[in-house]
Amino acid sequence: MRVYVGMDDTDRRDSNRGTGKLARWMERELPPGCTLWGVVRQQLPVCDDIPYTSHNSAACLVVDLLDASLLEPLVLRTVAHVERHFVEGSDPGICVVSEKSPALPALVAFGHQCARRVVTQREALESARGAHLSGHGGTCDGIIGAAAAAGLTAHGWSGRFIEKSNLRGYPERVSVKELEDAGMLVASLDRDTRVPHPADTVLTNRWLRPRLWGGRPVLPVVPLEEGVWRSLGEKRRKGHGASGEARPMAVFC
Q: Which domains, and CATH codes, for the chain?
A: 2-160 (3.30.70.2200), 171-231 (no CATH)
Q: What is the pLDDT of residue 115?
A: 87
Question: Quick check: 60 and 153 in contact, CB under 8 A?
Answer: yes
Question: Quick check: 1 and 68 in contact, CB under 8 A?
Answer: yes
What is the rounded CA–CA span in Å between residue 193 and residue 150?
Answer: 32
Using alpha carbons, list the distances in angstroms from residue 10 to 34, 92, 143, 157, 204: 23, 5, 11, 25, 29
Q: What is the pLDDT of residue 253?
A: 24
Q: What is the pLDDT of residue 206?
A: 84
Residues of the chain with pLDDT under 70: 10-16, 45-55, 236-253
Q: What is the pLDDT of residue 244?
A: 34
pTM for the structure as a whole: 0.87
The number of beta carbons lying within 10 Å of the beta carbon of residue 172 is 10
